[in-house]
Amino acid sequence: MLFYAFFAISLTRLFFIQFFRSNFLAAVAKKQHNLYVELEPLRGTIYDANLRPLAVNISADSLYAVPTEIKDKEHTINALVDILNLNRDYSKERLYRKKSFVWLARKISPEQKEAIKKLNLKGLDFLKESKRCYPNGYLASHILGFAGLDNVGLEGLELYCNDDLKGKSGWALFLRDARQKKLNLAQKMIPPQDGFDLVLTIDEVIQYIAEKEIEKAYVGFKAKGASIIVMDPHTGEILAMANRPTFDLNNFSEADKDKKRNRAVCDLFEPGSVFKIVTASAALEEGKVAEGDKFFCENGSYKVATHTLHDHQPHGWLTFKEVIEQSSNIGTTKVAQILGDNLVFRYVKLFGFGSKLGIDLPGEISGIAKDTRFWSKISIAAIPIGQEIGVTALQLASAISCIANGGQLMKPYIIKQVRDKQGEVIRENSPELLTKVVSLDTANRVKMILAGVVENGTGKLARIDGFTAAGKTGTGQKLESNGSYSHDKFMASFIGFAPVENPVIAIVVILDEPHPYYGGVVAAPVFKNVAGDVLKYLRTKHINVQEELFVENEAKRFAY
């Protein structure tokens, strides 16, 4: 009788389970034996112009837990906190969740993985992910920016081009055995779509040369900050861009905001005498002045309205060419007075100041170029010599390129191509003319005046051995918090190009509060060193390319 009673109860129980609990229990079993995992796409690689990798992906292990399978959670927490340096509250919060999957630590080191494996803790396992790596550390840090743990861009090109670089995630359902161990069998899978690659206009060698020299000046002259840009004046391609202070891309979390800021595109400053190229160009283009016209420079002191203007050293009579060569504030102001407010402002805008140039980098600002309605009586003596106006290093690079290339304002750009993993071009940038600023004749005349600055004027320390060069020095006073000009804080600068006859590079060098502070003393030598090394490199590169083409053509000839 007991046997039959037990059999009846069991049969009833089975009947109940089969018809009333089957769906619930099937769902539980499915949850226990299936593991949903998001499949991370491979982030796109960033290359320099010669396809040298600047940002790549490496394999890394990430630790996850199945909290429902961990019985002694406190023991597990204690062990992981020591190995991974995790916050105890963070670990506890995650392990006490009623979930079948939680991340504990992403992209850990091989040593940490081995230490965890030796503990043989139940409910823990690893997944392979990709980790962003920057082979050159500090090189081009403000251009590249960085991506976080989830491979999402946070700064620089990593942020600006995140949609292209990140790709699309996939997913898979993995089988697990009765012990909840993941089997390498996927029931269902949608593979991830890898991100596109970027090919930049940056040349790794030129970038290294620029970084080396700006670092030397930044440290040697005890500057607060520094920027340098090397540009192809004919196309607008950025060949190098660097700032100081800087940071290591592989340890970006240790750097403060000041080090991460791309000063070349987002810092505003009064340019000082480098801005005189605008006044000079306007005067020649409008036919108001010729190179040999003479101006009396008042022996170093000249009153405009309520303001008395001074030169860094007294001058008497100077030709217009000598006014620019010797960087006379008084001579330049007298030229600007001939032009008048409206013409000066027109050329300020034509050269691209007061507007964004549209570079493919985040953080670009427009600068400040106030309309003539807001000029005071002394603005005609301030703006033409680089005061009462705010510019960026990028705007100065485009302006000096305009003189070098024959009078055209080109749009600066840093991304050459967007490619898929098979090398097919998805998008491509090409040179873009923003506006025609001055005629070829005017540009050539200004070019020769700027060559005189290097040969005879304030830019003598910019002379390059074996090459001709042209440029302009600048020493701009910084504003104090009360609005007055400082007498001990300056922005030192040099803008120039080389060779004079056929410019292939334009360079801007900016030093923030260097000691000493004259642009011709601290910034001009940086131009000299960078331009000299870059021109030698480009010449060697050109010879090598010609040799490769010769060998290729000879091989084809003999093949036929």
Q: What spatial distance separates the first Cα and last Cα of the chain, rounded to whole Å?
A: 102
User: Residue 182 is inside which H or E element, if any?
Assistant: strand 182-190
**33 burial level (CB within 10 Å; 0-12, 13-18, 19+):** middle
Question: What DSSP letter does each residue of 240-251 carry, written as one string?
Answer: EEEEES---GGG
Q: How far is CA 507 from the centre of its chain?
A: 16
Q: Where are the beta strands (DSSP E) in 359-468?
A: 408-410, 415-419, 425-428, 433-436
Which positions ≥6 away from 325 have C-beta within 8 Å? 449, 452, 453, 456, 457, 458
Nearest-CA neighbor of 155 among 4, 78, 241, 259?
259
Q: What is the DSSP letter of 413?
A: B
- Show the tokens assigned to 485: 């000009």
Residue 79: strand pairing partners: none
> Residue 499: is the preceding peptide bond cis (ω within 30°)?
yes
Q: 304 and 381 in contact (C-beta within 8 Å)?
A: yes
Q: Give SS3 for 406.
A: coil
Q: Is 483 helix (H, G, I), strand (E, B) or coil?
A: coil
**Catalytic residue of the set 273, 281, 398, 493:** 273
- Cα distances (Å, whole numbers) of residue 16 to 12, 51, 115: 6, 68, 48
Tell me the β-bridge partners of 379.
none
The one-letter amino acid at 229: I
379 is catalytic: no
> What is the C-alpha to C-alpha distance for residues 277 and 268, in angstroms, rounded to an integer?
19
Positions marked catalytic? 273
